[in-house]
Amino acid sequence: MRKNNFDILRLMLALTVMFFHIGGLTGNGLLKLAPGDLAVKCFFVISGYLISKSYLKNSNLYEYSKSRFLRIYPLYFVCVTSCFFIGMFMYSSGAMAYLQDGAVKYLVANLAFLNFLQPDLPGLFAHNLKNSAVNGSLWTIKIEVMFYISVPIIYGIIAKIFGKKITVAVIALLSLISAIAIEIIVDKYGLSESLKNQLPSLMIFFMAGAALNFFTPSFLNVKYLPLLLVALYFCDSHILGKIIYPFVVAAFVYIIAFKTKPISIHDRIGDLSYGVYIFHYPVIQFMYHFGMYKNFYIGFVSTIVTVLVLAYASWHLMEKRLTSHNKKEKTIPNSVSDAV
């Protein structure tokens, strides 16, 4: 029986990101207020805690790499290639023109986690309200993969020299300095805001989560949630607040995961969080493309139902089987589920 709320927390975070993107892609002002950015940062904190915990329990590099690959890539591959073939079917100029007009670049770039090189497919979603990107959520998967690559370096090499606690603390400090420096440089010189959403700036959230394995804030409990919610609202609005923001996010995740009453998700439902996260953006785009959002409520309900069905199917037909197969082969099973 689980003694934490990571499963339900991840699902709630994935749904929050979905609501935020529905608001952004359809122009709904209310859903634009959903804290999508905070939800993504919470995901990074959770990932830092769980992936570090998993690697520290079993540092076999082959098993670690295989576990990360099976948890992330198969469904990612299905999502990217499905959109590719649907786009081919919908392209009016034929398959050859489709391939020549950028579809191959989309496929190669996105399968290599380089979605920024080609975020859209020829003709697909060209007339949608906000943009033609096929799946604007995939950039975070690239960041996650970079986190995964860093873990064996942090704990397998650096920590062996300086010790785990010192290593985590120093890397967290350097990550924070890097994030603040990039923030200042981007704002001062008018550079692209996307630079703030790259590994140097986001590593602090991963390390804040990783630090929970070594520096447990046992004094935190549910009564601090109102204070943390106020801090989350104000901290990210100015440069000084951004210094403590990652740690406030980590404290928020810690309280929800460990200090609230455990809420279990029945096995018949399964872990839908990754499926919801990776499928929701293209589903919203398709729903808008086919006119479902002419009536917002019909589009909203249709999107939620479709995403949940896809997430349910992907968990029971693919993710669960791959995860179960992988766990059977591990010499040291993980006590917590994967972070995605």
Instruction: Please give the share of the chain, as a percent, with pLDDT higher than 70.
Output: 94
Q: How far apart are CA 198 and CA 77, in angstroms?
A: 22
The pLDDT of residue 337 is 38
Q: Both tokens of residue 129?
A: 């309200």
- 191 DSSP assignment: -
Is the pLDDT score of 237 beyond 80?
no
Q: Which position has the higher pLDDT, 98 or 1?
A: 98
pLDDT tens across 221-234, in order? 999 999 999 999 88
pLDDT tens across 186-212, in order? 988 988 888 888 888 899 999 999 999
Other Cβ atoms closer than 10 A to 313: 15
176: Cα within 13 Å, side-chain hemisphere? 17
Angle at 61 between CA 56 and CA 65, to 5 degrees: 100
Instruction: Give the ranges where the chain is alpha helix by DSSP (H).
Output: 6-26, 36-57, 61-90, 95-98, 104-111, 139-153, 159-162, 164-189, 199-211, 225-235, 239-254, 273-289, 296-314, 320-329
The pLDDT of residue 325 is 60
Show Cβ contacts of residue 175 under 8 Å, excluding neighbours closer than 6 positions: 200, 203, 204, 206, 207
Cα torsion angle, 220, 223, 227, 233, sign: positive
**Span 256-285, average pLDDT:** 96
Contact status, residue 179 vs residue 44, Cβ threshold 8 Å: no
Q: What is the pTM of this model?
A: 0.93
330 — pLDDT class (breaks 50, 70, 90): very low
pLDDT tens across 56-106, in order? 998 999 999 999 999 999 999 999 999 999 999 999 999 999 999 999 999
Is the pLDDT score of 273 beyond 90?
yes
Is the pLDDT score of 2 beyond 80?
no
184: Cα within 13 Å, side-chain hemisphere? 9
331 — pLDDT class (breaks 50, 70, 90): very low
332 — pLDDT class (breaks 50, 70, 90): very low
Long-range contacts for 104-113 (Cβ within 8 Å, ≥24 apart)? Answer: 106/134, 107/80, 107/81, 110/80, 110/134, 110/135, 110/138, 111/77, 111/80, 111/81, 113/138, 113/141, 113/142, 113/145
Write down the domain spans for the chain: 6-57+154-329
Q: What value does the mean pLDDT of the chain take?
A: 92
Instruction: Give the ranges where 137-219 is alpha helix by DSSP (H).
Output: 139-153, 159-162, 164-189, 199-211
**Span 291-303, average pLDDT:** 97
Long-range contacts for 190-193 (Cβ within 8 Å, ≥24 apart)? Answer: none
The pLDDT of residue 195 is 85
Q: How far apart are CA 80 and CA 255, in angstroms?
A: 35
The pLDDT of residue 327 is 59
Is the pLDDT score of 9 beyond 90?
yes
Sequence length of the chain is: 340
Q: Both tokens of residue 47?
A: 């990932």
Is the pLDDT score of 119 beyond 50?
yes
DSSP-assigned states of every residue in 283-321:
HHHHHHHTTGGGSHHHHHHHHHHHHHHHHHHHIIIIIHH
